[in-house]
Amino acid sequence: MSGRHGAKLASVTVLTKGILNALLGAVHIVGAFTFEARKIAGQGTTELRRDYIVWFFAVGVFILFMGLVDVLCYQGLKTGVNLAWRISLLCAAFTTLAGVTGVVAFGASPPLQFLVTGIVALAVLVHSRGAFREGSS
């Protein structure tokens, strides 16, 4: 894949992944205090409900953070910066790992988006590796 085309494809893929996952994270954060709180109302102890909401919120913050990291890497990927490629690759690996874990634990609902966007980004980033210059930051 040519350098310019590979960098453009990687940047657009990672930007799309970032936007989708940032939106998912925002829904997760809002959902912690709305639909998830209603879903668990009256179940278990007060402490267990509180811990569940905190966990659900924290997962949303993580997903939002991973999405924002991708969005921030867009410009560097577009111009072929190696550090942006490395950060995006690491983010895609973590996204994929979290997606696999989520799908195994909770089924193919929202975690599937995390898994699919992670796998697609990993594939594109690995395929476009040659477009990124060593030593550019």
- Calpha distance 82→115 (Å, rounded): 24
What tokens does 21 get? 């996952």
Predicted confidence (pLDDT) per residue in 21-40, tens digit: 999 999 999 999 999 999 99
d(CA 98, CA 56): 14
Average pLDDT of the segment spanning 37-60: 93
Q: Is residue 30 situated within a structural domain? A: yes
Considering the entire predicted model, what is its pTM? 0.88
Residue 80 contacts residue 31 (beta carbons within 8 Å): no
Per-residue model confidence as pLDDT tens digits over 60-116: 999 999 999 999 999 999 999 999 999 999 999 999 999 999 999 988 887 899 999
Overall number of domains in the chain: 1
In a domain, 31, yes or no: yes
Q: Name the residue range of residue 23's domain.
A: 3-131
Residue 136 covered by a domain: no
Residue 114 domain flag: yes
Whether 12 is covered by a domain: the verdict is yes
Nearest residue to 27 (alpha-carbon basis) of 122, 111, 107, 121: 111
